[in-house]
Each structure stands twice: as C-alpha cells, then as structure tokens.
Amino acid sequence: MSPIHRFFARPASPGFRKLKPAAAVAAAALIAGAGLLAPVQADAAKELPRIIINGTSYDMNHDPVIEKGRTLVPLRGVFEAMGAQVDWNQFDQSIKATKGTTTIELTVNKTAASINGNKVELDVPARNLSGATMVPLRFVSESLGAYCWYNPDQNLINITDKAASDKS
C-alpha cells in the first residue's frame, strides 16, 4: 500500500471524530453566512433613491452617491432639469449656476459655497467621482427655489419648483 493509501486507510483517531461535528457546524455557519451576505450586496444598488423633479422622473447618467446622509447627484443634469444655466470652470474646478436672479457658486472639494454672493457652508462639498461632478441635491434644489423632500417608504426624493407648487 502506498503512503497515501495507508494514511486514508487508517481508522480515524478519537480526537478526529470529536472534531468532525464541530467542523460540520462551522462549515454550515460559513455557508449560511455567505448566503446572508449575497442578498445584502445585491440589494445595495436598489437602496439608491429615485429622484422626481417637477413631476418627471430624473434618469441620471451616474448613480447618486450618499455621503454623510446627503445625496450627491450629477451637476449638469439636475441644474438643467431645474431650469438653471450652468458654467463649469475647469481651471479652478468651480461651478456657477444661474436661474432667474439666483446665482449659486460651488467649488469641488470645498464646503464653502455662495448664493447671490452670500457665503454658506455645506455639509458635504461637490465631488468629482467616476468622471462626473456630483453636487449636494438638497442645497442645489432649495437654493434654486424648490421644495425638496424625501419619502422613505418609496425611497424617493421629490423636488418641486416653489413657484409651480404655490400656484397649484
């Protein structure tokens, strides 16, 4: 008999028999744990909120990002969906958005911003992520004169222009 066959042909030691049920329990726990983690990872993408602007679902070219409880969305799409003109300065990574008499200025990675020249401090700054400039949605929408609220039951952010909302 070869050494390999002799090793497997030997009867199991008493210590091995005691370990076998414990190993089975450990293996079952690992399998169950892996099964529990898989749905969490699969559902992570579903946890991102949907965004409705003035009654229209907003399809973004980049997924929103949640940072410190704030939702960051792609800059140009959301500003333009709200009727603002957007100017991007590549040199200093700054954003200037104008709607009517309101001008908002933000700079990437800076928490200082301004509304009509009045300085404000943001909870989270604008960011460049995956090739997109992302801006804090609530700050942008409220600065441009819109109501912004979150419906946790539907995982939905609803933005409505105050002027349009007040008329109805």
Domain with CATH 3.30.457.10 in the chain: 48-167
Assigned token pair, 26 = 């450990």
Alpha-carbon dihedral angle through residues 79, 84, 88, 92, given to the nearest 10 degrees: -90
Predicted structure pTM score = 0.65
Task: Estimate to the nearest angstrom the gap between the alpha carbon of 71 and the chain centroid.
Answer: 6
Cβ contacts of residue 45 below 8 Å, gap of 6+?
63
- Tokens 């109501």 belong to 147
Assigned token pair, 33 = 């744990």
d(CA 131, CA 142): 25
pLDDT tens, N- to C-terminus, the chain (168 residues): 555 444 444 455 555 444 455 554 454 454 555 444 443 433 444 577 888 998 888 777 788 888 998 999 998 888 888 899 999 999 999 999 999 999 999 999 999 999 999 999 999 999 999 889 999 999 999 999 999 999 999 989 999 998 766 665
| Buried/exposed 87-102: b ≥16 CB within 10 Å, e otherwise | eeeeeeebbebebeee
* Amino acid 38: pLDDT: 41
| Degrees to nearest 5, angle at CA 38 with 24 and 67 | 135
Residue 142 and residue 150 in contact, taking contact as beta carbons nearer than 8 Å: no
d(CA 35, CA 37): 6
Pick the CATH number of 48-167 from 3.40.309.10, 3.30.420.40, 3.40.50.300, 3.30.457.10: 3.30.457.10
